[in-house]
A and B are shown apart, each in its own frame.
Chain A
């Protein structure tokens, strides 16, 4: 079955350190992959997407993600974490069926300590 997996429920990072939120995919063909962020009591916000082209995708708020075909990964990264980055992060993929739909991973809670 096509899916994305987020192996970590929680990631803790000190402010100023680099952060990585992991995502692996199991998608046939060319995957369309996304990252979204959810702040407390808010809806999800789009961060970035990979469709094709450059494997390094830059997004909002200084985040980037690297598409790695050999490792079937699409990890989210930021060189220097801010306390305000603390939120729930979702990896997602586009699933093709009778109608295309975006399917979300289980989410990773990112906590940045001052």
Chain B
């Protein structure tokens, strides 16, 4: 059983389209995250939810909208995709916020043409 699973693994789309990435964790963790890894492998936190409540919202364009229907799921919807949105998006979870260990999904590679 995969602990943190993301779908789709690969996503190729045109500029201007809207797309979603889904994430589910079966670890019973309270906190979930979205990180973005760019082409130079820099990892940057985007959002975090704790028990369905948004607790971290970095300076991300408002075209990005996370949604957490329950504490096991955190989805990422992106409107009006731009070339610069091309990246690998990682979902992660942890038992609580703070110094708890992050468990990452395998990533979703988004390519915007």
Contacts and interface: CB of A to CB of B under 8 A. Distances in A.
Nearest to B44: A104
Nearest to B101: A46
A76 B1 CA distance: 30
Given A42-B106, A43-B4, A46-B102, A99 B90 contact: no
A32 B41 contact: no
User: Chain B interface: which size bin?
Assistant: 20 to 34
Given A42-B107, A43-B4, A90 B43 contact: yes
B104 A44 contact: yes
A43 B41 contact: no
A43 B45 contact: no
Interface residues of A, number: 24
B84 to A, nearest CB: 19
Contacts of A101: 45, 48, 56, 97
Ranked 8 nearest A-B pairs via Cβ? A43-B104, A104-B43, A99-B55, A32-B99, A100-B98, A46-B101, A44-B104, A99-B56
Interface of A: 32, 34, 36, 38, 41-46, 49, 51, 88, 90, 94, 98-104, 106-107
Interface of B: 4, 41-43, 45, 48, 50, 55-56, 90, 92, 97-99, 101-107
